[in-house]
Amino acid sequence: MSKAVEQVIVEEVAPDYWEQACAELMKHDRILKKLIPKYGSVFLRTRGDAFTTLARAIVGQQISVAAAQSVWNRVLLASKNKVTPKNILGLNIEELRAAGLSGRKVEYIRDLADHFDSGRLHANQWKGMEDEAIIKELCDIRGIGRWTAEMFLMFNMVRPNILPLDDAGLIKAISLNYFSGEPVSRHEAREVAANWAPWRTVATWYMWRSLDPIPVEY
């Protein structure tokens, strides 16, 4: 990582609960007590608005990070450098396919745009809604499942207590850190994570760091 990138990370602001969460997790969990200090200078970062975050998630489904970025760049170009619901709905199927989206992803991103544009989503009320209520609303959109909704809550809304049990990286990290690499069931993972509440987002983020020190963004 270049010094310029490191400087950007230092200057960004961590979620307001991050310091408290790290202190409490290190106090209550022997693994995180050793893990958190290794990555103390970085933290969960968010970018983009709600629609952009979810659109990027759809674009990135089942393809590599590099391929997803390439497709996203072309979607951005097609939508006049601003991916908004109106701009996506203003593109026809052929234009979206030409940007590299599969037929199914074209359906998904247009359905997402329609949900936002029509006001069917209560996006302006999400700040005051419970996690599960937001997940339920997002899962009504074609192409968005629980994992995508949980990534949205973590990376866009920065909710502190999300546990994405469908995330393969999290399960792998729990296996390596708590079970010496032995296979781990969802029940066992949930039992480990019970010790992380109410900061399961933060603990999950550090579990990811134990596999890959470079933070992921959505």
Residue 102, Cβ density class (10 Å: 0-12 exposed, 13-18 middle, ≥19 buried): middle
Nearest Cα to 107, choosing from 80, 79, 88?
88
CA angle 40, 151, 82 (to 5 degrees): 105
pLDDT value at residue 175: 98
**Torsion over CA of 47, 15, 35 and 56, rounded to 10 degrees?**
-20
Buried b (16+ CB within 10 A) or exposed e, 62-80: eeeeeebeebbebbeebbe
Structure tokens at 136: 């339920």
Q: Are 78 and 95 in contact (CB under 8 A)?
A: yes
Give the whole-angstrom CA distance, residue 79 versus residue 76. 5
pLDDT value at residue 9: 36
pLDDT value at residue 89: 97
Nearest Cα to 55, choosing from 75, 80, 78?
75
Q: pLDDT tens string for the chain (218 positions)?
A: 443 333 333 347 889 999 999 999 999 999 999 999 998 777 888 767 899 989 998 998 888 878 889 999 999 999 988 999 999 999 999 999 999 999 999 999 999 999 999 989 989 999 999 999 999 999 999 999 999 999 999 989 999 999 999 999 999 999 999 999 999 999 999 999 999 999 999 999 999 999 987 776 65
pLDDT value at residue 8: 35
pLDDT value at residue 212: 82
Q: What is the 3-state secondary structure (H, E, C) of the chain?
A: CCHHHHHHHHHCCCCCCHHHHHHHHHHHCHHHHHHHHHHCCCCCCCCCCHHHHHHHHHHCCCCCHHHHHHHHHHHHHHCCCCCCHHHHHCCCHHHHHHCCCCHHHHHHHHHHHHHHHHCCCCHHHHHHCCHHHHHHHHCCCCCCCHHHHHHHHHHCCCCCCCCCCCCHHHHHHHHHHHCCCCCCCHHHHHHHHCCCCCCHHHHHHHHHHHHCCCCCCC
Q: Are 201 and 16 in contact (CB under 8 A)?
A: no
